[in-house]
Amino acid sequence: MARFNGKVALVTGSSNGIGRATAVLLAQEGAKVTITGRNSERLEETKQEILKSGIAADHVLAVVADLATEEGQDKLINSTIQKFGRLDILVNNAGTAFIDSQGRVGIDQDVSDYDKVMRINMRSVVTLTQKAKEHLVKAKGEIVNVSSVAAGPQAQPDMMYYAMSKAALDQFTRSTAVNLIQHGVRVNAVSPGGVTTGIGEAMGLPAGAFEKMASFWESHKECIPSGKIGEPVDIANVIAFLADRKLSSYIIGQSIVADGGSTLVMGMQAHDMMSILTS
Ligand code: NDP
């Protein structure tokens, strides 16, 4: 029997990247999944990838929604419960970063970018978790948040607001874990290092810029000791482990780093990434 048989999972940000790989994996391992994002075409691509694995169409619910809005979040939870009748696994994966239109970084970056990044990377996680809580308590379910190695403890002057949002998310993971374990719900997180996804494009970087940075990191052992940028499935495997109570039941409120060894050396910080991205 597949390990997630009978479980229902909601994976935010599953129209691309890490969320897509996670939704496909959980579905392949037996879960019914709600997939979501704002981009309906990319969401359909995720759905087709799931169906290609031979999974029944009624095991997948695709919901186009803007997670930055309460209406979008209500639609997501309500339609999941309406279709599948329960919720066992919430993966708070949707997230992004914003580069300043005038190239400013750190404390000079416009504060509107701070508001935007906190709204999607942090506030939406708080409110979606609030809305999902009663269903997860009923199911004695699991929450997996997608953080980042950018959360620290190293400084992130080029991506300060993004890093701050992920540091806040780590505290949210720890605190809600203690809150919710009293109701039988486990909360954990994964902290990826660099992973090839759509995030470069979503941030507003020019085409190919993220890939350029990835190949720079791969060829510098002080950036990624393993010499390889992550693939979405590398992170999806950790998320599935944390969502699997049989395998990870005694892990509560932790964030597991999956980064090819980057945080052991953190040489990325020694290079001026903005000049690599824009040269
Ligand atoms: P992608 O850009 O490939 O995917 C991001 C997903 O989030 C998309 O499905 C996007 O959907 C969704 N999303 C963004 N904003 C919204 C919104 N307002 N409403 C609904 N959905 C939204 O990036 P990744 O897969 O890389 O990112 C996934 C997570 O991984 C993020 O939290 C990111 O911070 C984290 N991460 C990524 C790393 C990397 O190197 N790639 C490293 C460390 C952490 P749509 O565009 O359809 O709305």
Q: What is the pLDDT of residues 208-228, one digit of tens each?
A: 999 999 999 999 998 999 999
Using DSSP bridges, classify how beta strands 186-192 and 8-11 pair: parallel, antiparallel or unpaired.
unpaired
Nearest residue (CA) to ligand 1, atom 39: 195
Query: Which atom of ligand 1 is found nearest the CA of 230?
Result: 40
Give the rounded percent of residues in the chain with a pLDDT score beyond 70: 99
Distances (CA, A) of 109 to 114, 160, 197, 270: 8, 9, 24, 21
pLDDT band for position 266 (cuts 50, 70, 90):
low
CB atoms closer than 10 angstroms to residue 59 = 15
Residue 162 known to be catalytic:
yes
Give me Rg for the CA atoms of the chain: 18
Q: Is 146 in the pocket of ligand 1 (CB under 6 A)?
A: yes
53 is catalytic: no
Which of 199, 205, 228, when mutated, tests ligand 1's pocket best, judged by the most ligand atoms within 8 Å of its CB?
199
Provide mean pLDDT across the span 105-133. 96
Average pLDDT of the chain, as a whole number: 95
Give percent of the chain above pLDDT 90.
Answer: 87
Ligand 1 contacts CB of residue 258 (under 6 A): no
Longest C-alpha distance within the chain, in Å?
54
Known catalytic residue at 166: yes
User: From ligand 1's centre to the CA of 86, what distance in Å?
Assistant: 25
pLDDT band at 269 (very low <50, low <70, confident <90, very high): confident
Range with the poorest average pLDDT among 78-87, 140-149, 210-219, 253-262: 210-219
pLDDT digits (tens, 9 = 90+) for 7-51: 999 999 999 999 999 999 999 999 999 999 999 999 999 999 999
- Report the distance separating Cα 172 and Cα 169, nearest Å: 5
Residue 185 contacts residue 140 (beta carbons within 8 Å): yes
**Whose Cα sits closest to atom 25 in ligand 1?**
17
**Protein residue closest via CA to atom 21 of ligand 1:** 37
Ligand 1 site, residue 200, Cβ cutoff 6 A? no
* Burial degree of 225 (CB within 10 A; 0-12, 13-18, 19+): middle
CA-nearest residue for atom 12, ligand 1, is 13
The one catalytic residue in 14, 124, 148, 248 is 148
* Catalytic residue check, 161: no
Is 239 in contact with 22 (CB distance < 8 Å)?
yes
- Say which DSSP state 122 is in: I
Q: Is the ipTM of this complex over 0.85?
A: yes
